[in-house]
């Protein structure tokens, strides 16, 4: 069996002190060295086949160097980039992550949290919570560091990284108004989830601010953030018989489902009905009708969540953080001038 490469081996290879190598390979002390020193040490470590003893490092720190990450739905394209952002930052800091998904089930999320707690994770990043959520309450009760990202709870009891949903809805609505649309329908998402709730109320408030009377027949509730929910909601909207020239969907999957159902009922997008989505999931520009949508910085959300949970671990008494990221409108070919 080959002898294990040590810090001393790297130091001798480079002709530097062992303390210099140790600092370079520790994310918390690497800032004490120049970028060139860090680069030389890392390259030498890779060349010699050095593998850090993370268990010894964790024991020294009194931590597992592991963060639990829970997302609600692996099939929803919003969440993989968030997870990637989390993992990228944690890896740079010599942390690992355990990923689980809750299937949008509060009880399953709580079960996963208890299981991970048994594995001594240092804290949690949750993209899964409902507006009222037992898993968040559990973390608070047991003094477990926890960050919510993208979705969050109503109570101001945890650090939050969220999107400015009101700004996103305002950009979508103003885009349609500039195209001449006034009969603008909303396919709302589940109201027990923060994004669905905030986007719904932003739509109502912004219509009122723009002097447009709210027509309740133009608001239909989807029961999930899914293609089929978008199709079903569009069928209900059309069955009501109220006229409309545009639809704002509470997420992209709902929006794509809406377009599919419109076309099934011989309504063309955008010639007959313009559609705007929300979230900018991957490959939207590859659909037959590329979807106009509200882009959210998903990977950056994940990176900020990872950074914030590590800051919380270092400074558990710091004030609660509420970070709001700005979305932006991406205009594609699912919206056009109103012809009605």
Q: Which of 194, 189, 249 is nearest to 225 (CA)?
A: 189
What mean pLDDT do residues 34-39 have? 82
| pLDDT > 90? residue 270 | yes
Alpha-carbon distances of 186 from 79, 118, 266, rounded to whole Å: 23, 43, 20
Check: CB of residue 126 under 8 Å from CB of residue 106. no
To the nearest 10°, report the CA torsion of 279, 199, 330, 179: 150
**17 falls in which pLDDT band (50, 70, 90)?**
confident
| pLDDT > 60? residue 59 | no
Residues near 67 by beta carbon (within 8 Å), at least 6 away in sequence: 86, 90, 95, 96, 97, 98, 121, 122, 123, 124, 125, 306, 309
What mean pLDDT do residues 47-72 have? 75
Beta bridge partners of 275: 247
N residues, the chain: 340
Of the listed ranges 26-35, 139-148, 216-225, 260-269, the least confidently predicted one is 26-35
What mean pLDDT do residues 201-224 have? 96
What's the pLDDT at 307?
98
What's the pLDDT at 332?
96
| pLDDT > 70? residue 62 | no
Q: Encode pLDDT of 100-140 as tens digits.
A: 999 999 999 999 999 999 889 999 999 999 999 999 999 99
Place of tokens 């106009």: 292
What mean pLDDT do residues 207-234 have? 96
**56 falls in which pLDDT band (50, 70, 90)?**
low
What's the pLDDT at 85?
97
How far apart CA 169 and CA 328 sit, in angstroms, is 10
| pLDDT > 50? residue 1 | no
69 vs 34, higher pLDDT: 69
Q: Encode pLDDT of 86-99 as tens digits.
A: 999 999 988 999 99
Check: CB of residue 122 under 8 Å from CB of residue 67. yes
Alpha-carbon distances of 314 from 70, 117, 120, 123, 331, rounded to whole Å: 22, 19, 17, 12, 42
């Amino acid at each position: 069996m080959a002898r294990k490469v040590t810090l001393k081996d790297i130091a001798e290879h480079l002709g530097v002190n062992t303390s210099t190598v140790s600092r370079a390979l520790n994310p918390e002390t690497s800032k004490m060295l120049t970028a060139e020193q860090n680069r030389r040490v890392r390259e030498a470590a890779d060349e010699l086949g050095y593998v850090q003893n993370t268990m010894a490092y964790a024991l020294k720190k009194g931590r597992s160097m592991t963060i639990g990450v829970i997302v609600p739905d692996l099939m929803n394209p919003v969440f993989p980039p968030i997870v990637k952002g989390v993992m990228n930052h944690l890896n740079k800091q010599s942390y690992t992550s355990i990923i689980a998904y809750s299937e949008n089930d509060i009880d399953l999320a709580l079960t996963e949290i208890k299981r991970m707690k048994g594995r001594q994770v240092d804290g949690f990043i949750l993209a899964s919570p409902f507006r009222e959520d037992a898993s968040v309450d559990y973390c608070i009760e047991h003094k477990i560091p926890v960050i919510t990202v993208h979705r969050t709870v109503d109570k101001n009891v945890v650090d939050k990284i969220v999107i400015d949903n009101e700004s996103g809805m305002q950009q979508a609505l103003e885009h349609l108004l500039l195209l001449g649309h006034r009969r603008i329908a909303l396919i709302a998402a589940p109201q027990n989830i923060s994004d669905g709730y905030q986007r719904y109320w932003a739509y109502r408030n912004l219509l009122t601010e723009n002097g447009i009377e709210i027509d309740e027949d133009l608001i239909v509730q989807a029961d999930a953030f899914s293609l089929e929910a978008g199709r079903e909601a569009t069928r209900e909207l059309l069955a009501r018989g109220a006229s409309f020239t545009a639809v704002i969907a509470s997420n992209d999957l709902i929006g794509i489902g809406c377009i599919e159902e419109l076309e099934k009922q011989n309504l063309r997008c955008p010639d007959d009905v313009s559609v705007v989505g929300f979230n900018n999931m991957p490959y939207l520009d590859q659909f037959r009708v590329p979807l106009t949508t509200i882009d959210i910085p998903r990977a950056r959300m994940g990176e900020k969540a990872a950074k914030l949970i590590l800051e919380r671990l270092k400074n558990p008494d710091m004030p609660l953080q509420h970070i709001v990221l700005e979305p932006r409108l991406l205009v594609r070919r699912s919206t056009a001038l109103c012809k009605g």
